[in-house]
Chains A and B, each alone.
Chain A
């Protein structure tokens, strides 16, 4: 669509509208719109304005600290960073591959994380928009309003998230920021008590996840045009897939599929990401813009996350989720779906898959005993891993010196992969809904809805109970304030 809307000509002559901040957690974000005299959108940008600097202060630390330290990047999906770091450092600790029991425990932790994160996003963040409408009164367009109008739905969201968090606690010691994975394996088994307790809840979690898929599908099918076209950004799709083409959140090789569904790259080794991925820096955002080098910056950017994964894999290796995936594909008449709102349905299919995997893992008594740590192999000095975090592909890359201190760290997080796609989505929404119109809270929320559909850290981590705090200022070309709207 509109890379030309990234930077307008004669920017100084345009009116500037800033949505600042878009959110408060995991890096502040803001949206700026430049409008001409007739109110037409000439530029739209999603900026990530806070510098986090994790890559810099990981350097110089002992490598075995990193899986615990780096997870502080995120309050919502710390498990993804925890496991990605541990995976990257397994070889550095002489522990690759980790023992099979450790691999299962990590998977259990990770799929529990997918469940809690997806439940949180769909029920607490997104569903108020989807159930009440983008321009519904903010006083009801939140989780409290959801609980009042749809108590059954809200309760399922809370309980599904709690179940995922209980899995994380049982495998890492805490619901958030635990210590379960260490380079070379795990530091704990699953206790018999935890396994029994979690297994007793697992069938219900699968059932509720089926209802969530049904709700997301119903919403999509009830407004097919909106769900197909709102924030629609045609782009390639990137995700990990298993060797047999199955969806896999924990491990695999990278597959890139073009916007029409043709596979462009298959079996890409994440450890060689620097051979095919380029991270472009733009002066107006602290978030980089990755793209496939072979396709160039104009065509090489892509989407990651549920919408990419569900359409990139050949199948989902659990029966209920695979059935749901086929229904999703059929709804798009077999063509690749690129609407931002399609993320929600895909996300719930993934939650169902995670619930099925968790249930099946909890039937395995091997989680309670056996070797879970291996550190006897050769110690490498460089480690690269990829994992599918709730929001998409996550890459961790470390180099370690002879003194065991980290000498280099590079992280490409899911939200970064989606940077260009999110920018394109807000441009599309701005043109469609804001162009030439005066600002209202409901119109502004359209931009948030588009951003939120991607479930980026800058949106999901705020969890601002239905609405993000916003200050929107309309200034003339000289910077004089014409209009200011505050929403807290």
Chain B
């Protein structure tokens, strides 16, 4: 018996994301396939230049009856994946609220405002308040470096800087120590200060922070309101000129 005609290349498969067909090739994750198809699954710690990290959990979807990280789960033929459902979006909002209260994310006074993925996700998922008590962590600002400032109260532990410094810059400037609630970003130097590392402002590790934890010195609020990336587009849509970044 002859199989019905299928226009897709023989290696391409398909799953359903919120009822919409998404083609994928063998080995692609749900998140990769969705983004390639122009469909949005949120993420904070995912970057196509690095292996999946699965720490922010914002990309969690429901597939085959289980909650899985879309960034770390390979797509399967015929799966019916749920992502933008009230239940899952409510959980995402809760995750964002936990991220906000675990650090000092005072958007009105932060120069990353309008450029910040955490803030943009807060808007995207209609986060209206913090919901949980603030931790108000006491972490000193490291301004020892002549070109960079590190504000650890804003770190969301996505480890993008860790991966960038290790895999792209090959400097191993950043690391993570501790577990659970005590987990924190550290600078790989005996002094613990950025000034005593080889990091430069041009390094990917210095530029990849999705929030306002690693910033170039002196830039501040140089970009006017109305011209900041997330003034021009939501995080759901690619930012003009930055289509190749997550």
A: residues with CB less than 8 A from B are 60-62, 64-65, 67-69, 72, 93, 172-174, 177-180, 182-183, 187-188, 373, 375, 403-405
- Whether B16 is near chain A, meaning CB under 8 Å from some CB there, is no
- Whether B19 is near chain A, meaning CB under 8 Å from some CB there, is no
Complex contact B109–A68 (CB within 8 A): yes
In chain B, residues 215-246, which have Cβ atoms closer than 8 Å to a Cβ of chain A? 215, 217-226
- Whether B190 is near chain A, meaning CB under 8 Å from some CB there, is no
Complex contact A187–B221 (CB within 8 A): yes
- Size category of the B interface is 20 to 34
Complex contact B143–A403 (CB within 8 A): yes
Which residue in chain A gives the minimum CB-CB distance to B142? A403
Complex contact B141–A60 (CB within 8 A): yes
Interface flags, B142-163, vs A, CB<8A=1, else 0: 0110000100000000000000
- Whether B140 is near chain A, meaning CB under 8 Å from some CB there, is yes
* A64: contacting residue among B141, B144, B219, B225, CB under 8 A: B219
Complex contact A179–B225 (CB within 8 A): yes
> Which DSSP category, helix, strand, loop or mixed, fits chain A's interface?
loop
Which residue in chain B gives the minimum CB-CB distance to A189? B224
Given contacts A68-B109, A177-B108, contact A187 B218 (CB under 8 A): no
- Whether B82 is near chain A, meaning CB under 8 Å from some CB there, is no
- Whether B111 is near chain A, meaning CB under 8 Å from some CB there, is yes
How distant is the Cα of A430 from the Cα of B25 in the complex, in angstroms?
A: 83
Complex contact A405–B143 (CB within 8 A): yes
Query: Which 7 A-B residue pairings sit nearest by Cβ, starting from the closest?
Result: A173-B225, A64-B220, A69-B109, A403-B143, A188-B224, A179-B221, A187-B224
Complex contact B144–A403 (CB within 8 A): yes
Complex contact A375–B140 (CB within 8 A): no
How distant is the Cα of A183 from the Cα of B220 in the complex, in angstroms?
A: 9
* Shortest distance from the beta carbon of B209 to any chain A beta carbon, whole Å: 15
Given contacts A187-B221, A188-B224, contact A65 B111 (CB under 8 A): yes
Given contacts A62-B217, A65-B111, A69-B109, contact A182 B149 (CB under 8 A): no
Cβ of B215: which chain A residues have Cβ within 8 Å of it? 62
Which residue in chain A gives the minimum CB-CB distance to B143? A403
Cβ of A61: which chain B residues have Cβ within 8 Å of it? 141
In chain B, residues 188-226, which have Cβ atoms closer than 8 Å to a Cβ of chain A? 215, 217-226
Given contacts A62-B141, A65-B111, contact A182 B220 (CB under 8 A): yes
